[in-house]
Each structure stands twice: as C-alpha cells, then as structure tokens.
Amino acid sequence: MGPLLVCVVILLKAVSGDACASGQLTESGECCSVCPAGFGVMVECGKEDTKCTPCPQGTFSSSEDLGRCLPCSKCPYGVPTFAACSAVEDTQCECDSGFFYFRAYGLCAPCSKCKRGEGAAQECGPKGDTQCRLCGPGTFSEEHANTKPCQSCTQCTESEVEIRACMPNSDTLCMDKKLHILSDGSRDSLSKSGIEDVTPGAESFAPGTPKFTPQGEKSSNNILVYVSVLAAVVLGLLVYVAYKCWRSCKQKKALSKMRAAELGASPEGEKLQSDSGVFLDSQSLQDNQPCKGTKRDSKQDTRLYINLAPARQEEIERLLQEGAGGGWRQLGQALGYETEQLDLFGHGEAPAHTLLSNWALKEGSTLGLLCSALARIERSDVVSAINCPTQGVSVV
C-alpha cells in the first residue's frame, strides 16, 4: 500500500504542474531536495530529506552533476589555464582559436561546426565544444559550416515587396515595388506603373470602360519590364558571388597568418644566431644531426620534435597528409592515440598538423620515438624527410 500511495502522490503533482525535480520522494511522500551547485550529498534522501554539504577544496559540483562533488581537473602540459577551479565550476583550459579542451581525453580538439539552418547556441571556447540548434522563427543561417549564432531575418521596407519569406536556411528576399511585373489585361498593374494605355481616336462604349493601347505597344512595355527585372536579378547574383569570393579569400588569409604564427622560428636557432658572430640557420643545424642510418641509432636521438625547423615540420605534415600507405591516422595509432581522439583530429582542415602539434606538447616527444613509429607503419619517406638535409650535407 505504501508504494502505491507514493505513485499516486507523484502522479497528482505531475498533473498539477508541481512535478518533483529530483524524481524521488521521502517515506512521508515529500519531494527530495536537489543539492545546489557547489554542494554535495552528505545524507541520501530516505526517511528524511536530502542533506547537503559544501564541496571540499579541490572539488566542485555544477548544476549538471546532481549533487556530486568531483575532483578538479588539471590542464595538460603546454595548455594554459583560462580559469581556476571553483566550488561551482571545473578548471577551464585555454586552447588555440578553433579548438576546445576535450576533458574526457585531456587534449585540445577541433571545434564542431553547425550546418546550414543551424546556429551556435554556445560558441566553441573554454567552456566546451560548439552547441548547435535549429534557427527559430525570425532567424536564419545560410552558411554550410559556421560557429556563429543564427542571424535576425531582414525586414522589407515600405518601398519593397516580400518575394520570399525568411526560412531557417535563407534570409528574406525583398524587391523594389517599382520593379513589378505587368500581366496582360491587368488594369491594376497598368495604373500603378503610371502608363496611360489609350488607343488614339478610340471611344469606349460605356462610361468607365477601360481603354487599351495597340497590342504592339503593350508588348513593348512588358518586354522592358521583364528585361529590367532580369537585369536586377543578374546584378544581385553577381554581387552575392563577389561577396562570397571575398569572404573566402579573407578566411584563407587569416588561416595563413595563424599558421605562420604557429610555425615561428626555433628558439635554439635564434639563440645561436644572437650569441655568435656567425649567422647560423637553425634548420641547417638540425638537418646535420642524424636520426636514422647514421652513427647513432634513431632510438637514441633525444632531440625534441617541437625544436625541429618549421619548414621540416611542414614537409612531414604534407607527406603524412598526401602520401600513400600509412598516413597520419596510422601514425597516431602507433604513437598511442585512441580511435576517438583521432576522429576528433579528423574534424579539422589539417589533421596531421593537429596530431603532431598535440603530440609535441607531451613529455618525451623525441625524434627517435617519432622515427620508430614511422618505421613501424613503413613510412621510410617521412623518416628520410626528418633525417636528410635539403642541400649539400652528406650522411656518414
């Protein structure tokens, strides 16, 4: 009889709009309380209501954790901290632009992009990945891949007429009222256009009977209107294509600048150049150091990949991205990455660069370890690109 009574109480509260947020009731039929953010459950709900206690230092609980105090996370090596852990929010790690911190795997993953007709309810950043949702009434998104919220629909002015209503994947289409299309025998259209169609010398049979121009003159007027409308449509399409091309070029230039900033000069080469009176290129210095097939074994090469010349890193990424055989995904498996992590890297435009940049931030990311992994996936061409200098250096 007791469980039946509890079920009846829950049903009555749900019908009356006072549903229990926790979904649990005490033995007396009262709704169990939910611990707020920053508090954890000290005593579970049972005979009495839930008892909460503040989360101890080093732990947190948010509104999504249902009263569980979880240990604070730590940003991985090379990833700066955006906001320290508090009682109501976990540590926030700051990744590069276009990436977010994937807490489950402890790495920076590429941001997801919303489809056409969708907008970002939460933009990608320190708080997590992009959260997409369909554009609601009065908003739209025409981009096929974006990380921005939905835009407000355009409102036609008094001098314009709405040709097509706003939809989630396209904006309102308006046209100037002066560019209207005339139909044969349409008295209203003729009066609006300001054309007086009266046949010379002709009289109407009754008062108020409309008068018409000869057939040839009316056809000429219709052709002029059709040509004007067609010219306006073609001009609008040309402007739209030019805008898309300009925007695409602007995005490519911004991406090139970001890539150039990431591939800055090597600190080791800069130090050698500034300390000595001889201008020594860091790339030439590193190219003359053996990796495999020289007097030292590749496994003994303790040089870090992050200190490799930027031009050499670009060559390695290009070979892994375009070459046949084992590519960047097989290299990632050889370096110990899981399939889910590699799938996240694959969302970006340069997965090979994302993989090696993430791996370079880990401890022990030496060229010897990289050469061994490349040898296991039979990519001797990439090993040669790491070892062989570009000009005039012979390997003993």
Q: Which residues contact 142 (CB under 8 A, 6 or more apart)?
A: 116, 169, 170, 171
Q: How far is CA 279 from CA 153, 272, 273, 285, 392, in A?
A: 59, 8, 5, 11, 18
Partners of 125 in the beta sheet? 128
What type of residue is 166?
C
- Which of 327, 310, 340 lies closest to 381 in space, CA to CA? 327
Q: By the 8 A CB rule, do 135 and 150 touch?
A: yes
Longest dimension (CA), the chain: 113
- Please report the pLDDT score of residue 203 as a whole number: 42
Strands 81-83 and 70-71: unpaired
Concatenate the DSSP letters of all residues of 37-79 into one string.
Answer: TTEEEEE-SSSS--EEEEPPTTEE--TTTTT--EEPP-PPTT-
Looking at CATH, the fold of the domain delimited by 2-71 is given as Tumor Necrosis Factor Receptor, subunit A; domain 2 (2.10.50)
- Please report the pLDDT score of residue 200 as a whole number: 43
Q: By the 8 A CB rule, do 64 and 83 touch?
A: no
Which residues of the chain, if any, have pLDDT below 50?
1, 14-17, 182-187, 189-215, 265-299, 389-396
Return the structure tokens found at 25: 């009731």
Q: How far is CA 200 from CA 192, 212, 214, 301, in A?
A: 21, 10, 9, 100
pTM for the model? 0.40
Task: Specify the domain boundaries for CATH 1.10.533.10 within the chain.
Answer: 281-387
Options 2.30.42.10, 3.40.1190.20, 1.10.533.10, 2.60.40.2240; CATH for 281-387 is: 1.10.533.10
- Please report the pLDDT score of residue 212 as a whole number: 43
- Which of 247, 282, 252 lies closest to 350 in space, CA to CA? 252
Partners of 122 in the beta sheet? 131
Determine the straight-line distance between the first and last CA of the chain, rounded to whole angstroms: 90
Return the structure tokens found at 209: 């009977």
Q: By the 8 A CB rule, do 59 and 71 touch?
A: yes
Residue with tokens 């250096």: 393
Residue with tokens 């990945």: 129
Task: Specify the domain boundaries for CATH 2.10.50.10 within the chain.
Answer: 2-71
Q: At what angle do helices 380-387 and 367-376 cross, to 10 degrees?
A: 160
C-alpha span between 240 and 78 (Å, rounded): 43
- Please report the pLDDT score of residue 180 as a whole number: 56
- Which of 316, 331, 321 lies closest to 378 in space, CA to CA? 331
